[in-house]
Chains A and B, each alone.
Chain A
Amino acid sequence: MHDQTDAADIMMGDVVRLEDVLSRDSVTSVCKSFFSLFGLPVRVITHEGDLLADVHRDQPLCNYLNTLDAGERECAKTVGVVRDLEPELQTIVHPCFTGAVYRIVPLEYQGRPIGRFIVGPYVPAETTQPPASLLSVDAAIDSAAACGHFETMPRVREHIAKEISDHLKGVLELLLFSGHRAQLASTMQVASVRENYRELAEKNEALESSLDELKQLDQLKSTFLATVSHELRSPLTSIIGYTEMLESGAAGALSDGQAEFLGTIRSKADQLLGLISSLLDLGRLEAKSLDLKHESVDAHALLSDLAATIVPTANRRNVALDVQVGEQTPKLWGDPVRLSQILLNLADNAVKFSDEGGTVTIRAERGDIDAAGASGLGAALFSASRPAVVLTIEDGGMGIAEQNLSKIFDAFYQVDAGTTRVHGGAGLGLSIVKQLVDGHEGKIEVTSTPGEGTTFVVTLPAADDDA
C-alpha cells in the first residue's frame, strides 16, 4: 500500500486513496445535507477502511440494546460485519437483528474500488412489526420498550432508499472526479515547472561550459597575440635600426635609388611596428594588465601636441584643422601618453576619412559625467555627476551607416573591407580607444550621418584639483 500518491500513479492518472482527492470537510458537509434531507445515517469509508465521514444520530433502540449484555454483543457484531463488508460492484443490503437494514454502496473510480458508503440503520417502510430476533436477543429485554423504540427508527421504502443512495453515489463520484481533476492539474503544474526547471538548468550548464571554453580560447588568443607581437617586434627593431644606420650613411654613401628604397623599407617597417604595438596594447588591455598612470593633464597642452602631430598628415590631404579649447575647460585626470593615444587615433581617423578640402574640428570643453546615467534607476544611491572634460572630434567625411555604428569598437572590425586597402589599418584603433576610455572611467559616443560626417564625443573625468 502507498503512503501517498506517487508520481507513477499520477502519470497513469490514477487515484490511490479516496482521501487524496476528497476533503473530509466537503464529504462531511454532503453527508450532513443528506442526513438533514432524508434523516438517514450515513458513513463514508475508504478502500483502506478509514472512516472519512460519519453523520448519524444515536437511535433510542440502539441505546437501549447497549444496556443489555447480549444486546450490546449482537450490536457490536452487526456493526463490525457491516463495517468490514466491501461490495465489489453491487450494493449490499445487510439486515440487522433489530429488523433494520444497512445499505452498503460501493464507490468505484476508473474501474477500481476506492471506497464505500453505508446508509443506515433504517427500517424498510414495508416492515411493520419488530422481528422475533429483536425480542429474543436478550433474556432481560423489555418487549414493550423495545417495540416502542422500534417505532422511532427512521423509515423509508426500499426503492426510495435505493434511489437516494444512487443519488448520493452520483454526488460523491462527481466530487471525486472534480477532486481528481484538481489534484492532477496541481500535480502536473508542479511537475511541469520542475521539468522546465530541469531543462533550463541543463541548458544553462551547457551554456556556462561553452562560455568557459570560449573564455579559455579568448585567453589563448590574447596570449598568442602578445607572444607573437613580442617575438615580431624584436627582429623588426633590428630591421629599423639597421635601415636607419644605412640611411645615415654609416655603411657608405647611398645612391638616390638606394635611399628611396631604404625610405620605403623604413616607412613600411614603421607601419608594421605601429600595428604590432597596437596588438600588444590590445592584448594588455584585454588582459587588464596595462597600467594606467593617473595625473592631472592640461587640455590645452594635450590638444596643442595633438595638433602639432597631426598637422603634417592634414596638410598632405589638404584638410583644415580647427582646434578649440573652451575657457572653463578643466584639467583631465589620466595617463598623458594614453590620452594622447586616444586623441591621436580619433583625429588621425577624422583626417583620414575627410574629403580633400574638408575640415576636422577638435574641441575640448567642460562637461559632466554621470555614474548612473541621466535618469538611471536608483540614481540617488550612486555618486552624483562629476566634472568632466568633453572632447569632440568632428569630421565632414563619408560617415558611417547606422547599422555599423555598434560594431566599430570591435577589434579587427572594418566598416568596409575596401577601407583597409585605401586607408590602411587593421581595425584595432577604435577598439583600443574604447578600452582606454573605459580604463579612464570615461565614455565614448559616436554619431554619424552618411555623406555628412562623423562625430566622436569622449567624456573623461576632470582632475579633482581643477574641478
Chain B
Amino acid sequence: MSGFDFFLAAISPYHISIALGGVIAGTVIGALPGLTATMAIAVLVPLTFSMEPASALILMGAIYTGAIYGGAYSAILLKTPGTPSAIATTFDGYPMAKRGDGDLAVTLACLSSVVGGLIGAAFLLGLAPPLANIALAFGPVEYFWLAIFGLSLISALSEGHLLKSLIGGTFGMLLTTIGVAEVSADIRYTFGSHTLIGGIEPVSALIGLYCVPVLIDLVATPGRHLKVTAETRGFRLPEALRLAWRHKINLVRSSVIGTLVGILPGAGGSIAGLVAYSEARRSSKRTEHFGTGEPEGLEASESANNATVGGGFIPTLVLGIPGTPPDAVILGALLVQGIRTGPKLFLEGEGSIVYTFIYGLFIATLLMLPTGLLIGRYAYRFIITFPKALLVPTVAFMTIIGTYAIRNNMSDVVIMIALGAVGWILDRYGFKPSPIVLGLILSRIAEQGFVQGWTIGTARGDVLAEFFARPISMGIIVFIAVSLFYPVIAKRWRLYEEAKNAREN
C-alpha cells in the first residue's frame, strides 16, 4: 500500500466521525481541571476492544489531542491549568482574559494548538524511527539536569520576585518528598499518618494552588470575574490569524521544542510549555510585556503542548516506551489488541495501522479548529455571563470532582483544599503558585535522576564525570546558566542603556 491508501483509509466517514467525537469529548474533559486525558482514555479502553486497531488508535489519539487543547480554557478563563501542560498558558492567557480579550485568547489558543498538533504529527509521520533515539540518549543524569533546567526557568519567568519564586519552588520540592518515594520506596514525612502515604498528587496540588485562590478572590472582591466588553465580537478569528501569522516563527519554534520534549519519556508537557514560553520571551522584542497578556506567550505554550502529542507517540510506537502517561494507557490497549509496537510497525507492508493512525491524528487535529472555536466561544460566554453567585459554587464543585477523580481518593480533595488556602495566603505575600507547582512536578524527576546518576557514577568510579562530562548534560548545564543569570544580566543591561540614554540626553 502506498501512503495515499493509508490516507484514504483515514478519511473514511467512520474514522472522521470517531475523530470528531474524540476531539469534542477530549476538549470538554481537558477543560475540566482534574479530568485528564489519561483518565478519559482509560475509561474508553474497553470500547476499543471491539474496534479495528487503527480506529481505536484514532479515537484515543483524538481524545488525547483534544484534552491537551481543552486544558487551555480553564488556564485562560480561570487561571487554572486544566492539565500540567497548560501551566505556561496561564501566564499570559489569564491576563488577556482579565482585560477583556478572553475571546481572542481562546481563538488564538485554538490556532496555536492546531499548528503545534500538525507539526508534532508531521514529525511522527516523517522522522519517527530516527527521532526515537533521542529518548534513549537521555539517561538519568540528563533528566536530572533537564528538571533543574525547568526549575531554573522559574527565575527567568519571575523577574523582580526571584527570591520569592525560588522559595516557592523549594516549598514545592519539599511537598514532593511526602509519601512513598518512587524509586527508593522509603516512606517519608508522613508523621505516622496513613492519609499522607499516598503523597501529594501534583494535579490536585495544581488545582488547589491555582483555582482555590481565584475562587476566594472572586468571593472577596465585588467586581466581575473578567472584564466584559459591550459589543459581541464573534470569534475574532481574522485578528487571531493575523497575530498567528506575524508570530509564525515563534509558533514553529515552539512546536519543534514541544515535539522534541515530547519524545523524552520522563519530561512531559509542562516542561515543553515552559521551555517554549521562555524561549519566546527571550527572543521577543516585547520581552517586558510577557506575563501581562502577551499573545506570543500564549501561542508558545499552546503550540508546544499540543506538539508533545505527536512527539510522545514517537517513542511509544517505535520503542514501546510510553512518551507520556496517556501513551502508557494507549500502549496497554494496543497490547490487549495484540499489536506489538516496535520499529517493524513503521516498515512497508506492516505499516498500515500506524500510518492510518497518523493521518487520523492529522484529521483530528484539523477538526480541533472548528470544534475548538465553537466550544471555546461557549466556554467564554458561559464564564462571562454566568452570575458570580453561581459561577463560584459551580467551579468549586468541579474542582472537588476533578480532584477526587484523579486517584478516586477523598484525601486528595482535603489536601487540595488545604493547599489552596495556604496558596491564597502565600499569594498575598507575593509567592505565586507556578513556582510551587513546578517544584512539585519537577523535583520528582530531579530526585530520581540524581539518585540513579549518583549510583551509576559511584559504580563507575567517577561521580563528577557522570554528572558533568556527558555531552548532552553539558549542553543543558549551559542552558541552565543562561536562564539563571539572564534576568540579572538583562536588568543590568537595561539599567546601563537607560543610564547611557540619560547621559546622552
The answer to whether A and B come from one shared complex is no
Taking Cβ atoms with an 8 Å cutoff, the residues of B that contact A are: none
